[in-house]
Structure 1
Amino acid sequence: MIFHPRMLPRVTICDPELTIGLPPAITAGTGMDAFAHCLEAYCAPFFHPMSEGIALQGLRLVNDYLPRAFRDGSDLEARANMMAAAAMGAVAFQRGLGAIHALSHPVGAIYGTHHGTTNAVVMPAVLRFNRPAIEERIARAAAYLGIAGGFDGFLARVEELNSLFGFPRGLAAMGVEQARLRQLAEMAVADPTAGGNPVPLTVETAEALFASAM
């Protein structure tokens, strides 16, 4: 995505009271989008310690406050912390994104799915795919978030959140067709976010990753 420099805001006003009317499903989907931004920024194989730290705290805020905002949309403390987490993810992902977004973008383009929800649905499969490169890093994040069990505990927490929010259990449930996985894989590898994945993506591995996310 390319933004014209004259269309970037000079000032942003982040008022959590403006988000109180957001429906639970959109609260959950946009919240997990913030989580995906922070997660992929934290795992990206590039040097940017400040973004890494911001991403880690953003993960913690989403883990703590998104379930509260989902259950009670009028919880202003939860809304404020989720707004902070969303802003932190947007700062952090200058370090990079990865396969979560590389898969989600073509699915959204072809099937019109909600971006954040699609990110959440593919997230467990991408975590498993990237495990050889990120296991120790995710274990450290899990400890900071207060999640027991290292990488497996973190993965289980992501799946627990997806279940809590009532997200589809795989891309097939979102309407993705098996016959189009090759096309989606080619689009994913061409997506600019693919280059930030800690395990390199090829058309073949991306197609297998899509299949595992179905």
Structure 2
Amino acid sequence: MPTDASALRGNWNYPTAMRFGVGRLSELGETCKEVGMKNPLLVTDPGLAALPMIAEAMESCKKAGVGCGLFSDIKANPVGKNVDDGVAIYKAGGHDGVIAFGGGSGIDAAKAVAVMAHQTETVFGYLEGGRDWEEIPAHEVPPIIAIPTTSGTGSEVGRASIITDEANHVKRIVFNPKMMPSVVIADPALTVGLPKMITAATGMDALSHNLEAFCSPHFHPMAEGIAIEGIRLMKEYLPTATFEGSDLVARSQMMISSSMGATAFQRGLGGMHALAHPLGALYDAHHGMLNAILMPYVLIRNREVIADRLARLSAYLGLADPSFESFLNWVLAIREELGIPNDLSALDIDTKQSDLVGRMAIEDPSAGGNPIPLTSDDYSRLFEKAVTGDLSG
């Protein structure tokens, strides 16, 4: 295995053009010119906006003779108004491209800004009007350069954004293949300063993407192959990245696994995300932390159809006595090692809205990828188990 991060560097073209390696943020300005940007809008969250990495990004643009605006009024779970405000700034500044800079929140909001940049409707007006993504011509979606600063959502290689509809307390998916970034600059050094718990939660989010893609019943052998290696990388490197945050090899492998997870879940997600999305909307809880807590409960609920698959996976991971139980025990152990709570009550979530959670979960697009079709009542009961810490079958 690589022991020097300098060996983990390359230019790839899957699923889009990716420039991976420590220090590659410095290439931003020239990359803007390559994709035709003269005056992009850099969209990020307020926590990052004041950090040196943003100043470095804007300086790279300046050196290349590229103008660069900044928009950072984005919530941790971005809402429709954040997107609409970003579109207004984009239009007022005469911008010609979007730099999506940040974790999942910043990148999701930025991609949605790009899709809506030349539309006359608000983002939810577009969705509620029943318009199809094909109605937006490609030339109306400006180029996007994505720069991830966490290793979790993999939004930098995604064709969708998750935006919270505050009025209706639901997360909505803004889907459009044209929002796939033209170029991804993946610089693992940008993740070095992440706090331990954010590293752990975002890493578990990436694990959930790979794991649910692996367990999906849909036929997509390529995605399955990507997912199984993405899981192995998280097993090998997530603890090191969490507790030895300056380890650039571990940070690099986590960033790779994150992008792999978002590529693999073309095969589908499942019950973890079907529950995490409504819980994030209702309780404004961290998406990665929700998936981390929900993981064993959903695995146990799906056990009857995924046991053989997880036995094969645990053999690949080198676990003792490869089996469903072996994999489940590893999940429980790594959660404990990382300090992930055992149940949702640790996030001040109770069972009072279990019926609503169940109804919202069954409506979530992720529900279609669960290995076992579940009803709203099934999801309500599964949610209640995750609140009370009931790991029985």
Given the two structures, how large is their TM-score scaled by the length of structure 2?
0.54
Residue 109 of structure 1: aligned partner: 281
Cα shift at 1:157: 0.8
Structure 2 residue corresponding to 1:67, chosen from 235, 239, 249: 239
The percentage of counterpart residues that share the same residue type is: 52
**C-alpha distance in 2 between matches for 1:55 and 1:179:** 35
Unmatched runs of 5 consecutive residues or more in structure 2 = 1-172, 388-393
- One of 170, 173, 181 as aligned partner of 2:343: 170
Distance 1:136 1:5 in 2: 34
Match of 2:320 in 1: 148
CA displacement at 1:59 relative to structure 2: 0.3
> Is 1:182 the counterpart of 2:355 in the alignment?
yes
What residue number does 1:53 align with?
Answer: 225
Bigger RCO of structures 1 and 2 (CA < 8 A, at least 6 apart): 1
Deviation at 1:3, TM superposition (A): 3.5
| Structure of larger gyration radius | 2
Q: Which runs of 4+ in 1 moved over 6 A?
A: none
Aligned equivalent of 1:209: 382
Pair 1:15 & 2:187 matched: yes
- Is there any run of 5+ residues in structure 1 with no aligned partner, and where? none
Q: What amino acid does structure 2 have at the position aligned with 1:64?
A: E
Q: Does 1:25 align with 2:197?
A: yes
- 1:95-132 CA distances to partner (integer Å, 9 max, x unpaired)? 00000000111111111111011101000000000000
Does residue 129 in structure 1 map to residue 305 in structure 2? no
Q: Which moved more, 1:38-47 or 1:7-16?
A: 7-16
Per-residue CA distance 1:45-89 (angstroms, 9 max, x = gap)? 011000000000000000000000001000000000000000100
Q: Quick one: which of 349, 364, 373 aligns to 1:191?
A: 364
Q: Which structure's residues are more often helix, by fraction?
A: 1
Q: Distance in 1 between matches of 2:354 and 2:342?
A: 17
The number of residue pairs the alignment matches comes to 214
Q: How much does 1:2 deviate?
A: 1.4
Would you say 1:44 and 2:216 are equivalent positions? yes
Q: 2:353 is paired with a residue of what secondary structure?
A: helix
Q: State how far apart, in whole Å, the 2-side matches of 1:172 and 1:161 are.
A: 19
Which whole-Å CA distance do the structure 1 matches of 2:311 and 2:177 have between them? 39
